[in-house]
Amino acid sequence: MSESNSQNLSEKLFQKHKQAQETSALIRYMPSSQEILDLKKQQEGYVWYRNLRRLQWIWQGVDPVEQEEVFARIASSKHSRTEADWLDTVMGYHSGNWAYEWIKLGMRHQKRANGKQDEEAANELFSASLCFSIAGYPHLKNDNLSLQAQILSNSAYNEAAKLTRYVIKQVEVPYKNKKIVANLHLPNTDRPHPVVLVSAGLDSLQTDMWRLFRDYLAPRDIAMLTIDMPSVGHSSHWPLTEDSSCLHQAVLNELESLPWVDHRKVGLVGFRFGGNAMIRLSFLEQDKIKACVSLGAPIHDILASPEKLKKMPKMYIDVLASRLGKEVVDINSLAGLMRAWSLKVQGFLTSRRTKVPILALGLEGDPISPYSDNQLVAIFSEYGKAKQIKSKTITQGYEQSLDLAIKWLEDELFR
């Protein structure tokens, strides 16, 4: 996309949203729940509404220096904020606003792509797509700026797909009168490849996963098929229900009809809530899956303990409320509802085992994915394994856990 076109698209998309409602104020709470949130805010003293995923974003391809520049511009903005204590709640689409600053960085990468060829240009566009995606983070429903950012992210990804030496195809799988849109990434089309189905959490898009393919899977001759979780991104038509793996199951059953992949060699990778879905699928479709890896997945503990769930930062509670389509939220009843998402409560991690080898990974001290959860998964999976990555090496924690995950998949897929 030429620079002027992309500039025009951006201006057109955001023209109407100069005064869009700011993300942190989108989800409405019952008065009693609002009191809980206000009290929590005073006690915890967080200075950002969003959970800043510095290391994850760097690993996904954001330049660390550019990232800190964006944070600095947001933090130093003189514009008014929805919440004076939270730096990333600048109202209106202009300097200092979260979406505005990340989109500006995305545009910079798009501009750089114009001066480059082939793979170099593609990488700049993949970086632009990632910045646009972060501009929409945490992707709440009815967040207009976020929806526009998503359009830019998909558009940049599609442009990049045309330039890279790898093959990227959009796959559409019919499901309940609509179509699941997934991106299939192939090292080449010489022959069918083993394939890994990848899904991230409830607050990121499938286009965020490019680096996992380029740096980890493609060199090992493995294809990657990305799917958005129900209620997010391309899958936003479907509500999130306890059947968290419904879309992945539909896609898995369609693999036989894709000539580019070997449907007898399928692996699963799920980050955060995507891990919950992938573990669930490993019990439901044991004969179709060779191996599964979950990273930082909520499996039982936090979902089945309303008190722990209520202690989560507001952004996480907003995301859950948004995914469940709640208009006005009562935190107590929301926390109670989440019990149904626990894989143990659903009866998966109680008596029957799966023959799919599952590697359940978590970072030390992670409240969402405690070691006890991952051990539970390992017990109910033949050859399953739980591994905790030490948090003092958290910078390498990401790389470490991915190296481990890919090695695990490779061993099982090529066995």
What's the pLDDT tens digit per position in 343-381? 999 999 998 899 999 999 998 888 899 999 999 999 999
> Is the model's pLDDT at 4 over the cut of 60?
no
* Residue 113, C-beta contacts closer than 8 angstroms, at least 6 positions apart: 121, 122, 124, 125, 128, 159
Q: Which 3 state secondary structure label does DSSP give 261?
A: strand
* Residue 46, C-beta contacts closer than 8 angstroms, at least 6 positions apart: 86, 313
Please say whether the beta carbons of 280 and 271 come within 8 A.
no
Of 230, 108, 208, 98, the residue nearest 157 (C-alpha): 208
What's the pLDDT tens digit per position in 289-311? 999 999 999 999 999 999 998 88
Report the C-alpha gap between 283 and 263 in whole angstroms.
Answer: 18
Q: Which 3 state secondary structure label does DSSP give 346?
A: coil
The backbone torsions φ and ψ at residue 322, rounded to the nearest 5 degrees and listed phi first, read -65, -45
Q: What pLDDT sits at residue 48?
A: 97
What's the pLDDT tens digit per position in 11-29? 565 655 555 679 999 999 9
**DSSP codes joined into one string, 205-248:** -GGGGHHIIIIIIGGGT-EEEE-PPTTSGGGTTSPP-S-TTHHH
CATH number for 166-300+342-414 (one of 3.50.50.60, 3.30.70.890, 3.40.50.1820, 3.90.1150.180): it is 3.40.50.1820
| One-letter identity of residue 32 | S
- What residues does each domain of the chain span? 166-300+342-414
What's the pLDDT tens digit per position in 328-337? 999 999 999 9
**DSSP codes joined into one string, 7-41:** HHHHHHHHHTTTTPPPGGGSSEE-HHHHHHHHHHH
The residue with greater pLDDT, 395 or 32, is: 32
Report the C-alpha gap between 301 and 370 in whole angstroms.
Answer: 7
> Is the model's pLDDT at 201 over the cut of 60?
yes
Cis ω for the linkage preceding 192 (within 30 of 0): no
Q: What pLDDT sits at residue 14?
A: 61
Report the C-alpha gap between 231 and 240 in whole angstroms.
Answer: 6
Of 99, 252, 79, 77, the residue nearest 182 (C-alpha): 252
Give the pLDDT mean for 313-322.
Answer: 94
Q: Give me the half-sphere count of Cα atoms (radius 13 Å) on the Cβ side of residue 146.
A: 20
Please count the other Cβ atoms lying within 10 Å of the Cβ belonging to residue 8. 12
Q: Out of 99-108, 169-178, 384-393, which region has the weakest mean confidence (pLDDT)? A: 384-393
Please say whether the beta carbons of 415 and 290 come within 8 A.
yes
Q: Which helix (H) or strand (E) holds 375?
A: helix 371-379
**Encoded tokens for 382:** 């033949």
Q: Enumerate the β-bridge partners of residue 358.
A: 292
Report the C-alpha gap between 9 and 400 in whole angstroms.
Answer: 39
Report the C-alpha gap between 34 and 31 in whole angstroms.
Answer: 5
What Cα–Cα distance (Å) separates residue 56 from each residue in 46, 52, 59, 99? 20, 9, 5, 18
Q: What pLDDT sits at residue 210?
A: 96
The residue with greater pLDDT, 243 or 9, is: 243
